[in-house]
Amino acid sequence: MKYCALLLALLVAPALLPPEALRAHDNYDPNEPRWSFAIHGGAGTIARENMTAEQDAEYRAALQSALDAGTAILTAGGSAMDAVLAAIVLLEDDPKFNAGRGAVFTWEGENELDAALMDGRDRSAGAVTGVKSIRNPILLAREVMKDGRHVFLSGSGAEEFASQRGLETAPPEWFATEGRREALERLKNEKLSARDVDVKFGTVGAVALDLEGNMVAGTSTGGLTGKRWGRIGDVPVIGAGTYADNRDCAVSATGQGEYFIRAVVGYSICSRLSHKWRAEAAEAEAAVPRDSQGNPTYAVHASELWLEEEDVQAVADAVMADVKDLGGTGGVIVVSPFGPAIFSFNTPGMYRGRATSAGVNEVAIYGDE
């Protein structure tokens, strides 16, 4: 569905508002197809003084590669689904991030992987948790979604399903890295918490809006260092760490999953955006002059109403403030039907990147960028 058709589905009335009743917007054509894309590689205590110039460059290059992979697909008219998968597969294979290869260790010294994917067209979704041998968990989430019988698979059952679908597996040594093993040992030896050793949450994710107006969100993680008892975070929980609905937005989160679950972060952002848009539509409709019979002289047309980037940012910031009030830290990436891609995080830094059909293309790490 084209972007214009997406908004027309929310039609309030068939005609246009008079120019004076509309908010002033420059260089915007509601009929122009647009795409936007955002990625993240985790948020946390990420400071310049703790990064060498070489590490900084390596992270930026990895983020740019993932961003470019999705951007190339969207620029060519490809789907949001393909763009999200292309970026996340690259990040899962990169040991710098806590997803796939490079995942953190559980208390028992294993790598347990979670992932989720959601399609905003029909809100179909697939999620997996606690898998240990699937090279790219996001591709398994995609297979769960395609199969359609279930949304959420776990552990050995998810592994069995993956075998039936012919997904690529990898041995334990593929996922394990020395840095992650040292973090587990330090946590145990010094009696620390996961929060003490996971100073940055390396969860990876991507969200996309394509030229057809479709939105997709995907997220993949290894969870928390030293996690126990089959702990599941927000990433594979639809509505918490991953959510997409063409009517509102697509969200991927990273951070302390327990708090993101409690705040239902992904759904909360989309729901608040929906409420804000409808409130503006009602306000515009109320501003239309009436004739002597009390009938409106103009009708509000949904395709002439939209939210600005700062509106979307304010909603995401409000939800992340709620997470902070609960005691949690982390961040989100968001795209909406209105075009821009935004970030919101309550940590010193966040590995992130975004690109849009309006010409934005950037990656960043620190909070002051």
Distance, in Å, from the CA atom of 193 to the CA atom of 187, rounded to the nearest integer, reads 6
Question: What is the spatial distance between Cα 153 and Cα 277, in angstroms, rounded to a whole number?
Answer: 35
- The rounded average pLDDT for each run of 10 residues, N- to C-terminus, in the chain (369 residues) is 36 35 46 89 89 95 98 98 98 97 95 98 98 98 98 98 97 95 89 66 94 97 94 97 97 96 98 87 74 70 74 97 96 95 96 97 96
**Residue that the structure tokens 């960028």 belong to:** 369
Catalytic residue, from 203, 219, 254, 329: name it. Answer: 203
pLDDT of residue 17: 36
Please tell me the distance from the alpha carbon of residue 2 to that of residue 49, in angstroms, as a whole number.
Answer: 46
Residues whose CB is less than 8 angstroms from the CB of residue 135 and which lie 6 or more positions away in sequence, other chains included? 92, 93, 100, 101, 167, 168, 169, 170, 174
Q: Return the structure tokens found at 335.
A: 């795209």
Tell me which fold the domain 3-355 belongs to: Glutamine Phosphoribosylpyrophosphate, subunit 1, domain 1 (3.60.20)
Whole-angstrom CA distances from 310 to 25, 31, 83, 134, 341 are 13, 21, 25, 39, 11
Identify whether 203 is a catalytic site residue.
yes
> Which H or E run includes 270?
helix 265-286
Cβ neighbourhood burial of 364 (10 Å; 0-12, 13-18, 19+): middle
